[in-house]
Structure 1
Amino acid sequence: MRVAVLALLLAVAWTAPAAAQSPTVIRFAPDQKTPVTVGDGTIENGECTLGTVASGGWDNGPFLRLSDSECPNLLRFAREQAVVSLFVRAERGVAISMSLCGAYHCNGEGDVVAYASIQATGDWQPFVLAAPEHALRVLTAYLSSETGSFDVDDISFARERHPDTSIPVASGAVTSPTPATFTFASTSTPSTFMCSVDGAPYERCRNPASIAGLAPGRHTLAVYAVDAYGTTDVESPAQVNFVVDPPAPPPPAAADRDGDGVPDATDNCPDVANSDQADGDSDRVGNACDVLPPGNVPPQPGETSVVQVLSGEVFVKLPTRTPLGFDRLGRPFQVGGFIPLKGQASIPLGATVDTTRGEVAIDSAANSYAAADRRAKRQRAHIRAAMFQLKQKRRAQARSATIATDVSLLSPPGAEARCVGAPPKGTIVRSVSMVVKGLYRTVGGASTGTARSATFSTTDRCDGTLTQVGRGKVTLAVKSQKKPIVVKAGQAYLVKAKLFAARKGRKPTRG
């Protein structure tokens, strides 16, 4: 019997002899003619009257009916066999006997190599004859009753004892609690299987079988097959050794620095305890961390804009004259410098926004109607890579008239010092990139650009203000020129001027 060994903690490594011989099975067909030869075995007439019945065999198929009480030389083998199995049926109480001889005839008791007898029950019964050596050549059948008939079906024979069990497929080293799964095979089909783990009593098991609940460490599985005739190889079962790894350690507890029971990875305010995760303006920043008024309110003309962080880091500095009555104003009024903006917020016009390392979307009023008025309109811009101040007139001549939102460029700390002395041509001090839908103006050092639904950038250099347009058009107002300058898509225009040279030592604008 082959034995399969699973290399510990490694992939499966098998060492097994050549496959054992599968038994040959003679199955009958309706109107079977004799003699019948299958493999090394031949069923002959002998002194019996042979006939086949179309259905009702042990597997409900055709079977062979013998009408004589003695059938010598019923089955002959071209080569010696080790085991012969078959199903038999006779009237209840009748003794069915069979003998196997080592020669081509059974003339006397000395010729008999294997003999067995059973009491018939009226139903199909398995019948097995085996010899210690390959010595079986002729099968003879007898009945204790001289009258009546008996039936045979699915005659199986082999030159080796069968069934022979193997474990051709097995899992590698397994980790608890995942079950170890093994697949079995038998040289006899059909077969059932009996399993034993670590020497426990054998129990019937499925194929494939999954074994769970084992302690970490080495284990052994033994398996033997039981064929349709009830024959087993319990004396030499197939075996496999396997290892169950210790369970993986539990993952470390999720960080929760504010101790509110919500892990930092999903906490919308990881620095302030807020187990309710309330987020009134749905900007993914919890109310407990909102340092600016919420951004779920519409912009008020001339008073507020709504700023939403799209990417990167963004900071806001409120005007020094922010009124105490500004809606939901808390810490921003008490802190004089820049504060980080998270999510979105409503900020007063006149505030400074730093997007040098980020990008924002700005919603502002597009006419002078109050935000609650159904005639109120909005305009929107995406702004990045800039420090600027937001401004807007409180009211136009007519409420329905479009009012512009001004984006006034401011210099990052120390940037203007680049223009002292003789800076290289084109030295950049500050810039802004914008995508606008509505009326926006960028206020640079040498020109003011007005755009409606355009994509453009404004750059203040030491030698002037450069406007570059990607889409739409930008109209430039220059103090020294009465006629505006129109810069169209794909064009650029530099308004030359000596900027920032006299501002050496100017204090940084970020507090």
Structure 2
Amino acid sequence: MKRVLLLAAVLVSVLAGPAAAQSPTVVKFKPGQSTPVEEGGAYISSECGGTAETGSDPDRGTYMPAKCGYPYLQFQAPQALVELFVRVPAGGGVTFEACPLQPPCVASQSVKGPANTWVPVVLADPDGKATIVSVSGNPDTGSEVYALDIDDVAFSTVRQPDTTIVSAVGPVFTFGSTVGNASYMCAIDRGEFAPCKNPSSFGGLPPGPHSLAVYAVDVYGAADNRSPARADFVVDAPPPPPNPDRDNDGVPDTADNCPDVANSDQADADKDGVGNACEVFERGDIPPKPGETSVVQVLSGEVFVKLPTRTPLGFSGLRAPFQAGEFVPLKGAASIPLGSEVDTRKGEVEIDAAANSFASTDRRAKQQSARMKAAIFRIKQKRAKAKAATIATDVSLLTPPGAASRCTGRSAKGTVVRSISMVVKGYFRALGGASTATAKSATFNTTDRCDGTLTEVGRGSVSLAVKGEKRPVKVKAGRAYLVKAKLFAARKGKKRG
């Protein structure tokens, strides 16, 4: 009998059995009771009569013998279903027929021995209508024994059993039926029915909508499989895993400006995205000092810095210890001493430097900036005696470890060893192996190859100082110039480039 239930993550509604659903009447024999038995609107008798006996089977308890066979059941009102348990001795056989007032009979079932086996008999009107007014049991032709036993006679004016889904709490469904000791069969998403417990939960289902169908089976084997109870429900997607918090400061790593050091206040004095607790260098909001410091801000990728072993600042103002041959990752922005080495082979930085020699706190102090990438370089600068004079920021190209060895073969001509890409606004010089490029507002690349230094200009113009040349070479936008020289070649007693 059909029941529909709608669930969505949490139970929306629970549909109980309709008012028409009712439990069957069950006649259970009592010790010493004799036929005929009149109970619940049923008349139960047999040709030779009988007196109820109590057997050793705990499931059956007290039963009614029919010594001569021929049991007969009659009902005051027509029934849709009649059920009972029957035990036939070995060699015996009996056929039960359920009949309305007018023939033909609507249902029949034959039961054979052996002895000591209780067999359920289910007689139902095929259309579920209440038409059965009598049930008779007749020995089969050739049966050697007529005696038999009957027990637990059940009858109902409606088809039995009926099934309901009583409740659903989260993924747990509780079932109900109009009959006692019912078992249940369940199917998910219109799959095959299989035995299920009451209550049942259905794990392992993917997120999304699903359907449940369930029907009850009574102790006689009658099943509500024509119209199971149904429930539509939704399995929510599992919640995302909690955001990691490596330093346990209550701020998820994805939002933490210092994920490896606890800093629940997220203080960031220089607003560079790196918390004060994780600043390795001096803060990036300190203006550059002429001849002493520059401010380096990471624009993208990975950037590393190696501090100089000697600096005009001494140890004052440095938050990171001097590193012996080691680069330190740079995050956000930092004030670093001039003479530091910067590795931007996998990143890009913007460098702010002093443009004259006034103290950084002087209102007459000026700054200049450049964007640099794809290089390892050292930043240098000297103060001028005339404080108002413009001072250059020098960027010396450094050779990556092992790169100079590319120039030892015969085919080394044109092989790139080191390079830098610069966008400058101010007075900057790129110190290559065979030339020095000076620019005040330009975009250019300086590349040291095995056969010389190549300068390529994209915007503005660049002035090249070439050893042996009296006048600088001017390279305009869209042009390139190669200063030929034997660079990085192994020379006895000398280091490579």
Q: What's the TM-score once normalised by structure 1's chain length?
A: 0.53
Choose the corresponding residue for 1:499, options 487, 491, 494: 487
**1:278 Cα deviation from its structure 2 partner:** 1.6
Residue 416 of structure 1 aligns with which residue? 404
**1:351 Cα deviation from its structure 2 partner:** 0.6
Aligned residues: 299
Q: 1:379 to 1:504 in 2, by over 3 A?
A: farther
- Deviations along 1:119-164, one digit per CA (max 9) or x if unpaired, are xxxxxxxxxxxxxxxxxxxxxxxxxxxxxxxxxxxxxxxxxxxxxx
Native 8 Å contact 2:14 2:168 kept in 1? no
- Pairing of 1:148-227 with structure 2 (within 5 A): 175-177=8-10, 197-199=14-16, 215-216=170-171, 217=173
Question: CA–CA distance in 2 between the matches of 1:481 and 1:176?
Answer: 82
Choose the corresponding residue for 2:307, options 314, 318, 333: 318
Residue 393 of structure 1 aligns with which residue? 382
Partner of 2:404, secondary structure, is helix
Native 8 Å contact 2:449 2:487 kept in 1? yes
What's the % identity of the aligned pairs?
Answer: 65
The runs of 5 or more residues in structure 2 that have no matched partner are 20-166, 174-210, 214-227
**1:286 Cα deviation from its structure 2 partner:** 1.3
Residue 361 of structure 1 aligns with which residue? 350
Q: Does 1:428 pair with 2:261? A: no
Q: 1:491 to 1:506 in 2, by over 3 A?
A: same
What amino acid is the match of 2:437?
Answer: G
- Pairing of 1:96-115 with structure 2 (within 5 A): none
Choose the corresponding residue for 2:280, options 291, 296, 299: 291
Question: CA–CA distance in 1 between the matches of 2:286 and 2:437?
Answer: 29
Q: What is the aligned-residue RMSD (CA, Å)? A: 3.2
Partner of 2:244, secondary structure, is coil
Choose the corresponding residue for 1:268, options 249, 257, 269: 257
**1:442 Cα deviation from its structure 2 partner:** 0.3
Question: CA–CA distance in 2 between the matches of 1:458 and 1:340?
Answer: 25
Q: 1:276 to 1:336 in 2, by over 3 A?
A: farther
Partner of 1:333, secondary structure, is coil
**1:254 Cα deviation from its structure 2 partner:** 1.8
- Deviations along 1:182-220, one digit per CA (max 9) or x if unpaired, are xxxxxxxxxxxxxx8412899xxxxxxxxx996435789
Choose the corresponding residue for 1:403, options 391, 400, 412: 391
**1:266 Cα deviation from its structure 2 partner:** 1.2
Residue 82 of structure 1 aligns with which residue? none
Q: 1:431 to 1:503 in 2, by over 3 A?
A: farther
What amino acid is the match of 1:199?
Answer: A
Residue 359 of structure 2 aligns with which residue? 370
Question: CA–CA distance in 2 between the matches of 1:373 and 1:213?
Answer: 75
Question: CA–CA distance in 2 between the matches of 1:320 and 1:299?
Answer: 20
**1:288 Cα deviation from its structure 2 partner:** 1.6
Q: 1:388 to 1:506 in 2, by over 3 A?
A: farther
Question: CA–CA distance in 1 between the matches of 2:362 and 2:302?
Answer: 34
What amino acid is the match of 1:348?
Answer: P
Native 8 Å contact 1:417 1:504 kept in 2? no
What amino acid is the match of 1:439?
Answer: Y
Residue 38 of structure 1 aligns with which residue? none
Question: CA–CA distance in 2 between the matches of 1:405 and 1:448?
Answer: 12
The runs of 5 or more residues in structure 1 that have no matched partner are 9-172, 181-195, 203-211, 221-238
Native 8 Å contact 2:245 2:253 kept in 1? yes
**1:257 Cα deviation from its structure 2 partner:** 1.6
Q: 1:283 to 1:421 in 2, by over 3 A?
A: same
**1:398 Cα deviation from its structure 2 partner:** 2.2
**1:335 Cα deviation from its structure 2 partner:** 5.3
Q: Does 1:458 pair with 2:446? A: yes
- Deviations along 1:363-404, one digit per CA (max 9) or x if unpaired, are 00111111111111111100000000000112x242222111
Native 8 Å contact 2:258 2:275 kept in 1? yes
Question: CA–CA distance in 1 between the matches of 2:493 and 2:257?
Answer: 41
What amino acid is the match of 2:355?
Answer: A
Residue 458 of structure 2 aligns with which residue? 470
Q: 1:258 to 1:410 in 2, by over 3 A?
A: same
Q: What's the TM-score once normalised by structure 2's chain length?
A: 0.55
Residue 244 of structure 1 aligns with which residue? 233
Q: 1:367 to 1:355 in 2, by over 3 A?
A: same
Q: 1:446 to 1:241 in 2, by over 3 A?
A: same
